[in-house]
Amino acid sequence: MQAHQRMLDPTPNGLHSGESPLLQTLGLTKRYGDFLANDSIDIDIWPKEIHALLGENGAGKSTLVKAIYGLIQPSAGEIRWQGERIALSGPSEARTRGIGMVFQHFSLFDNLTVAENVALGLDGKESFKDMSARLEQVSKTYGLPLDPRREVWQLSVGERQRIEIVRALMQDPKFLILDEPTAVLTPQEADQLFIVLERLKAEGRAILYISHKLEEVKRLCDTATILRGGKKVDTCNPRLETAPSLARMMVGGEIKEVKAPAGRQTTVPRLVVNDLSLAPSEAHGVRLEHISFELKGGEILGIAGVAGNGQDELFAALSGERLSRDPGTVVIEGIAAGHLSITQRRKLGAAFVPEERLGHGTAPRMKLSENALLTGHAASGMVHHGFIDTAATLKTVDRATETFDVRKAKRDPEAASLSGGNLQKFIVGREILRNPAVLVVSQPTWGVDAGAAAVIRQALLDLATAGAAVLVTSQDLDELAEIADRIAVMFHGRLSAPLARSEATREKLGLLMGGSSLEPKEAAHAVGA
């Protein structure tokens, strides 16, 4: 039925005429209830090709690769592998055929060694010794250094990703799927990864590269397929496109530009952290060590860093979800607050937006009005003598809806029924509407569509302009460059001295994110330690 469409599809670059693609989907459709996650998608992947799969969150990228990797069964359409139609029973069949995948979220056991983790993921019958030897050899060949005997919890996120890549490569795949591999890497680590990927391509393998970082895609990929709302928008050569033109295809329109309002002035320090150290609350957690910074009103401080370097622990220590013995370690509005609960800190004028929207920032199965009460009960006049003022909670929902363009099916739905972007707008709105003196926000636009991301970043800038102190933790360096006045980097529970935005180049930040120091003397020291 969909065949005629495919015939009209121009082959990119016209290079592949005559041969058949390595992998092909024809009219691939996946339906969840009434929702079409993938609507009749045709994609051709050729050997020796790095093929980008672009799209916003919810565009259907994950669904498509899950179908190709055999994790889900398509509702309609077909998948062809080397010209032959296949129906994958599961990922292990995909691996046997030569399809490998590296997930964004690793599936590794912290307490096992690298070799043990790899052995668990392989289907083969070779002995553990042979496997370890092969592991070392593959990791050497591709310049992905790994010590097979080390336990995973000791490794950095970049090293953990290497395990996943090596594990996939040990099965000698013809086709490798990578899901946002650079999301957790420093710029330098990303560069190293690109060298590996180029090499795999030169060996004749094909790579499907999922990303939303457009510069990266332009640099690395030969072909790009763009999805939007479950449908394929286009297949193009990303090198012939510009980042804005690719973004337009992804979003389906122009994205509002974020503008820093003029006349922003810094005032008194509103959030001060003095030599904050905190032991980890769970095994293999990160210890916070001697963190100090000062944040003035009117200022946005960005905290960059690879995930898992203590950002979550810092958020818990600032919010009061974890208390510090020494009250003076966290000072909010001039008042020592290290020993105060999250509710007391809110009463001092602090507001918090955690990374996880569902289950941390909101109770998923509760209504928005109840979720407004969740953080608003402290200091927003929603509670009188222990009784809830339902009208006040609903008013907060309405105001957040109006001010931040939260789209929802009815006035007061459950939090879980909103899309990621709309829920995040609600959460940020809920906190900003309280007029906080200090806002601590973690990954404000993680997994959020471009439109919502622009709204949220603008709101943070406006809040700072109004005089609040804003602390933004983000893994997205572009985001920090866009809104932060100063940027500090977290590594192994330590925070670097903040750099002014003008000094904070990608290269410098990348070095700090990888644990190097910017000063040569200390760098030598760090290597020794």
User: Binding residues for another protein, per CB under 8 A?
Assistant: 1, 32-33, 73-78, 85, 319-321, 341-343, 346, 352, 354, 356, 359-366, 370, 373-375, 377-378, 383, 386-388, 413-414, 416-417
Q: What's the rounded Cα separation, in Å, for the pair 311 and 305?
A: 8
Please say which residue, 213 or 345, places its beta carbon nearer to another protein.
Answer: 345
Please say which residue, 181 or 361, places its beta carbon nearer to another protein.
Answer: 361
Q: What's the rounded Cα separation, in Å, for the pair 93 and 87?
A: 9
Shortest distance, CB of residue 516 to another protein, whole angstroms?
A: 35
Alpha helices in 142-223 (DSSP H): 157-169, 187-202, 214-220
Shortest distance, CB of residue 26 to another protein, whole angstroms?
A: 10
Can you read off the two tokens belonging to residue 195? 């060298």
Query: Is the alpha carbon torsion for 380, 381, 383, 389 positive or negative?
Result: negative
Can you read off the two tokens belonging to residue 429? 């709105």
Can you read off the two tokens belonging to residue 215? 């510069």
Name the one residue in this structure whose structure tokens are 């650079």. 182
Query: Is the alpha carbon torsion for 422, 423, 424, 428 positive or negative?
Result: positive
Name the one residue in this structure whose structure tokens are 């959460």. 427
Shortest distance, CB of residue 35 to another protein, whole angstroms?
A: 9
Please say which residue, 74 or 498, places its beta carbon nearer to another protein.
Answer: 74
What does R_g of the chain's alpha carbons equal in angstroms? 25
Alpha helices in 308-389 (DSSP H): 311-319, 342-347, 368-376
Nearest residue to 210 (alpha-carbon basis) of 191, 195, 197: 197
Shortest distance, CB of residue 63 to another protein, whole angstroms?
A: 15
Say which amino acid occupies 508.
Answer: K
Shortest distance, CB of residue 80 to another protein, whole angstroms?
A: 13
Cβ partners under 8 Å of residue 448, min gap 6? 57, 420, 421, 424, 456
Q: Residue 526: which H helix or E strand, with range?
A: helix 520-528
Q: Residue 506: which H helix or E strand, with range?
A: helix 506-513
Please say which residue, 321 or 462, places its beta carbon nearer to another protein.
Answer: 321
C-alpha count within 13 angstroms, C-beta hemisphere, residue 395? 11
3-class DSSP assignment, residue 437: coil
Please say which residue, 119 or 438, places its beta carbon nearer to another protein.
Answer: 438
Q: What's the rounded Cα separation, in Å, for the pair 477 and 190?
A: 13
Nearest residue to 483 (alpha-carbon basis) of 309, 305, 303: 303
Backbone angles phi, psi at 78, to 5 degrees: -140, 160
Shortest distance, CB of residue 352 to another protein, whole angstroms?
A: 7
Q: What's the rounded Cα separation, in Å, for the pair 250 and 232?
A: 10
Please say which residue, 71 or 416, places its beta carbon nearer to another protein.
Answer: 416
Q: How far is CA 487 from CA 22, 174, 291, 349, in A?
A: 44, 41, 14, 23
Shortest distance, CB of residue 77 to another protein, whole angstroms?
A: 7
Please say which residue, 3 or 8, places its beta carbon nearer to another protein.
Answer: 3
Please say which residue, 82 or 419, places its beta carbon nearer to another protein.
Answer: 419
Please say which residue, 251 or 323, places its beta carbon nearer to another protein.
Answer: 323
Please say which residue, 226 or 350, places its beta carbon nearer to another protein.
Answer: 350
Shortest distance, CB of residue 464 to another protein, whole angstroms?
A: 23
Shortest distance, CB of residue 410 to another protein, whole angstroms?
A: 9
Please say which residue, 63 or 211, places its beta carbon nearer to another protein.
Answer: 63
Shortest distance, CB of residue 386 to another protein, whole angstroms?
A: 5
Shortest distance, CB of residue 323 to another protein, whole angstroms?
A: 12
Q: Residue 442: which H helix or E strand, with range?
A: strand 438-442
